[in-house]
Amino acid sequence: AAVDYDAFARILRMGRIGEADDIADAALFLASARSGWITGETITIDGGTLIQTGRLKRGWQDKYGKGED
């Protein structure tokens, strides 16, 4: 079964699926002088999905699809 990305996006904290530009913006920031005081950090770029892990684990695949193998 195909994943219903629109339905999945509605349950995400940011209300949408992430795009390549979301990652690129963070990478550009980290490569710039503005990030000069950041060292040894793990930066999660997931639109708040990590803080919802429990909610996402509770059956979202059954409700929104498992994707195509």
pLDDT at 59: 59
pLDDT at 19: 92
Report d(CA 8, CA 54) in Å as an integer. Answer: 15
Cα–Cα nearest to 56, from 31, 24, 26, 3? 3
pLDDT at 22: 92
pLDDT at 69: 44
pLDDT at 8: 80
Give 1-38 pLDDT, tens digit per residue.
687 888 888 878 788 888 999 999 999 999 999 999 99
pLDDT at 62: 65
Report d(CA 69, CA 53) in Å as an integer. Answer: 23
